[in-house]
Amino acid sequence: MFAFEKDALEKSLTADLPMILEENAQLAKQVVVSDIAALALLLQDANRIFVIGAGRTGLMMKAAAMRLMHLGLTVHVVGETTTPAILKGDVLLAASGSGTTSTIVKAAEKAHAAGAVVASLSTTASSPLAAVSRLVLLIPAAQKQDFQGAISRQYAGSLFEQSVLIITDALFQAMWKLTDAPAEEVWKRHANME
């Protein structure tokens, strides 16, 4: 299938790893911290938190759900068999770079209709997802079809997906620090059937 040479791979990796880290560092400087704080306050006040994303973004949202659960919050991943109905007082945290991913938009519309608060992570504030969101945390990353590399030299939506993980980890870190809960206490909620 592929026939890579070790030297060529090492040369590429030597250039690409710092490039990926630099793109994330530049993006972090552009994200509006007060919007992340506003998101934290929404999550803090939620009866329950539901998360949704598709593809690799969905995997990042599952990671975010895990960390929020470690804080002691009640969190569900949309689409899992044990996920209950969303209700008024709940928050749906949805991530879609384009804000047009049909499954995510439909879930957000249903959550909004049920009286839940919708918060979204996206590259745009002008989308069907943004239209039903109380809060849109703008992530200045490339969308999947930015083939010219105008915003990111990485493939497809990689920078967006990475930033979703980094931003939600920063959100967790800030919320955790402000709880004064020692790591040993938070660890008690860590999975123990691994």
Q: Which run of H or of E encompasses 76?
A: strand 75-77
> Which amino acid would we find at residue 113?
A
Say which of 161, 184, 185, 194 is annotated catalytic. 161
In the sheet with 91-95, reading across from the earlier edge strand, the strands are 75-77, 49-52, 91-95, 117-122, 135-138
Q: Helical H runs in 48-88?
A: 55-70
Pair of tokens at residue 98: 């384009």
Query: Is 161 a catalytic site residue?
Result: yes
Instruction: Find all residues with CB under 8 Å of 151, minimum gap 6, and list them.
Output: 140, 141, 142, 159
Q: How many CB atoms lie within 10 A of CB 140?
A: 16
Active site residues: 161
